[in-house]
């Protein structure tokens, strides 16, 4: 490999028919579809913080684009383009080939084109910017929740937190059960189709990257409302409760990170439309509570009493 430019040409340059100009010039040139707004978001992943040196490079490629696409999903935007800035400690052909394979597989799933970026030597760091499109006025913002809205989540919660505890040796699981939760951590699937299908139906949305309570809290703060959740209604895989002490399972489900599911609110009159949208998108959704006019977030336990919530999360696994 003779230079940075050969590296970019070999691993990160592909045809970009949806861009007026892609990789190779000082800038990419992009034309949004007529009448559409652009939705732009960036996420950075650092070795040691967001992934570990032993993780599969294809998985790192998948996840680094997936977590960015999750932000477009949470806005209801259609993915169009991405840029990739990457710092590499060395040029490792096998690593780069696998990373690019994971990245472009995720890109192809959602019709997104890599149109530029930056490449430099340094501690492994991946910074991606994604650009999507949405008709003006239809974005699923954090500030649109209204008192009386149902609160919904897609998929299941807590699997990624459990997989992380297993991987870090803090939690024992049978292999067959570990195999059920590990994909949530290493191969998250951004809920792009669901976000698009919820345009005009949901009042607000966010993707759950830092735990349900924290992320729902952002909707509540921006919308100046409160929420009441039923703990028993939160969707989980059965293994979550099978392996974990009740208080730890509660933390995984309420505060575990890396779920990349959507949390959104919609009026009760639109329940059927929410279910139809989820069905069209091929993803389950579950109603977990209501938005309240009073501020504050209350989680009701099985005894009809509010749970006292601790945000200590992962530390509970420590022996």
Site of interaction with Mg ion (CB under 5 A): 118
Q: Which of residues 8 and 194 has its CB atom nearest to Mg ion in the complex?
A: 8
Q: Are 123 and 89 in contact (CB under 8 A)?
A: yes
Partner in contact with 195, chosen from ligand ADP, Mg ion, none, beta carbon below 5 to 8 Å by kind: none
Q: Give the binding site for ligand ADP (CB under 6 A).
A: 8, 12, 23-26, 84, 86, 114, 116-119
Which is nearest to 208 in space by CA: 262, 142, 284, 161?
262
Residues in Cβ contact with 95 at an 8 Å cutoff, skipping those fewer than 6 apart = 57
The entry of Mg ion, ligand ADP, none near residue 96 (CB within 5 to 8 angstroms by kind) is: none
Task: Provide the 3-class DSSP secondary structure of residue 166.
Answer: helix
Beta carbon nearer to ligand ADP, 118 or 280? 118
Residue 316 CA, distance from chain mean position: 24
- Smallest gap from residue 256 Cβ to Mg ion (A): 37
24 contact, one of Mg ion, ligand ADP, none, CB 5-8 Å limit per kind: ligand ADP
Shortest distance, position 71 Cβ to ligand ADP, whole Å: 19
Partner in contact with 260, chosen from ligand ADP, Mg ion, none, beta carbon below 5 to 8 Å by kind: none
Q: Minimum Å distance from CB 27 to ligand ADP?
A: 7
**Smallest gap from residue 128 Cβ to ligand ADP (A):** 10
| Residue from 159, 152, 260, 264 nearest 206 by CA | 264
DSSP label at 229? E
Task: For Mg ion, give the closer residue by CB, 129 or 209.
Answer: 129
Beta carbon nearer to Mg ion, 118 or 276: 118
Count of residues in the chain = 319
* Paired sense of beta strands 78-88 and 113-121, if any: parallel
The partner in contact with residue 65, picked from Mg ion, ligand ADP, none with C-beta cut-offs of 5 to 8 angstroms by kind, is none
> What does 169-181 look like in DSSP terms, one character per residue?
TSS---HHHHHHH
CB of 70 to ligand ADP, least distance (A): 20
Angstrom distance (rounded) from CA 288 to CA 182: 24
């Amino acid at each position: 490999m003779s230079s940075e430019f050969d590296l970019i040409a070999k691993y990160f340059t592909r045809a970009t028919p949806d861009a007026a100009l892609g990789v190779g010039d000082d800038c990419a040139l992009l034309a949004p579809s007529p009448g559409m707004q652009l939705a732009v978001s960036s996420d950075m992943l650092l070795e040691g913080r967001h992934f570990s040196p032993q993780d599969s490079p294809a998985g790192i490629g998948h996840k680094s684009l997936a977590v960015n696409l999750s932000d477009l999903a949470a806005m209801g935007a259609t993915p169009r383009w991405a840029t990739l800035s990457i710092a590499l400690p060395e040029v490792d052909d096998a690593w780069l080939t696998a990373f690019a394979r994971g990245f472009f597989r995720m890109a192809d799933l959602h019709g997104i084109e890599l149109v530029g970026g930056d490449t430099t030597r340094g501690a492994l760091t991946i910074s991606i910017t994604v650009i999507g499109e949405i008709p003006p006025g239809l974005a699923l913002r954090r500030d649109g929740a209204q008192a009386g809205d149902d609160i919904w989540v897609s998929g299941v919660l807590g699997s990624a937190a459990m997989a992380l505890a297993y991987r870090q040796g803090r939690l024992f699981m049978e292999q067959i059960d570990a195999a059920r939760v590990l994909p949530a951590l290493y191969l998250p699937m951004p809920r792009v189709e669901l976000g698009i299908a919820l345009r005009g139906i949901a009042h607000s949305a966010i993707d759950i990257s830092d735990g349900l309570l924290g992320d729902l809290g952002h909707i509540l703060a921006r919308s100046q409302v409160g929420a009441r959740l039923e703990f028993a209604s939160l969707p989980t895989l059965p293994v979550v409760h099978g392996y974990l002490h009740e208080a730890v399972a509660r933390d995984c489900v309420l505060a575990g990170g890396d779920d990349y599911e959507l949390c959104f609110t919609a009026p009760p009159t639109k329940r059927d439309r929410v279910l139809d949208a989820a069905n069209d998108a091929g993803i389950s959704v579950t109603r977990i509570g209501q938005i309240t006019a009073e501020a504050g977030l209350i989680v009701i336990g099985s005894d009809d009493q509010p749970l006292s919530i601790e945000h200590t999360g992962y530390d509970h696994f420590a022996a």
